[in-house]
Amino acid sequence: MAPIRLRHPKGVVTIQVDLDQFSVLDLQQEIYAATEIPPSQQELKAGYPPHSLTLIPELPLESLGLKQGEQLIVSQKAGAAPASPSRPGQTASTTRSPPLSSPPRSSTRQQPPSSPTNASGPDHVPVDGGYLVHRIVPDDNSCLFSSVALVFEQDIRKAPEIRRIVADAIRRDMVTWSDAILGCARSHFPEYRNPTFDAVFLSLFSRPRDDYIATILRPATWGGAIELTILANHYGTEICSVDVETGRVDRFTPERGDGNRCVLIYSGIHYDAATIAPILDVPDDFHQTRIPIQSEGDDDPILVATKKLADKLRAKRAYTNTATFDLKCQVCGKGLKGEKEARAHASETGHVEFGEY
């Protein structure tokens, strides 16, 4: 069973469907049970920007092209007469939909917010179909992995699993991720040549493969471009990272992509995610985390919105200049100023795990 999120006139709800076995009518029955809108009156939209779905009850659900975690917008046809929700050949008394007074166990009802704005909430910018919202993750040295877990697994607690994906990919591919590549990261990834990235990836420079793998599995170790490259390929989705200080967008494009991209926000030493909410204050699991690519250029609406979100954060000085920020060696506890001192300390002591004060 896979979760499908519904936005409907009375709020939001998550239902569980079998993408392989359900028919379109099965989906409509589940929607009916969760929203009280009969199948004959349902209008569904999916994707970004939202597009209408053609509902042919007898066809398999796969005909709609839905994916796990999909978001559907459900509306009721204007002036439509109520119709029986039963399947062909069944009577209404034998349908599997539960009574309307008792919603299915797999659904969690949420009431719509009382106001369409949220001045005290996270930063956001409007986009077609909702808002691009800054999703903040903890400052615990696993922010990159937590952000990726939020986007692809909808659960930041799965950050350790994201680390294992990276470690396994390096372990399997000794050619792509050789000692030479891992030890000379800045010569292979343009992002490493930008000073604002150097401090974040400092802990992993010039490390043999086995050492790199062991290090990346530790929760105190930061990640960067190598990890994002691996994760983009693993999930088949482009990962875009916007630098708050400069507004630069770095794109990690998979070898075989699914036509979607996601957005991370980079402050100089910390990663957060950005996701699309249809309305502000909806539950986190109703956010759209993967967005279809509409343009390969910088004029893609989501990239434009991403830069606007970075502008808002920059105006609040929500970034760190890595030449002057305060670091702490996680091994010996020594305080350091900027990446220059951190590099010198690493060279002198071999200590390569750092956190921000």
Catalytic residue list:
140, 143, 270, 351
Cis peptide before 49 (omega within 30 of 0): yes
Residues in the chain: 357
**Separation between Cα atoms, residue 214 and residue 16, nearest integer Å:** 38
How distant is the alpha carbon of residue 319 from its chain centre? 21
**Separation between Cα atoms, residue 353 and residue 219, nearest integer Å:** 10
**Separation between Cα atoms, residue 70 and residue 44, nearest integer Å:** 12
Alpha helices (H) in the chain, listed in sequence order: 24-35, 143-153, 159-172, 179-183, 185-188, 195-201, 209-216, 225-235, 301-315, 338-349
DSSP 9: T
Strands (E) located in the chain:
2-8, 11-17, 42-46, 51-52, 71-76, 124-127, 130-135, 238-243, 249-252, 260-266, 271-277, 291-292, 326-329, 335-337, 354-356
**Separation between Cα atoms, residue 310 and residue 14, nearest integer Å:** 31
Site of tokens 């392989």: 20
Contact in structure between 326 and 333 (CB atoms under 8 Å): no
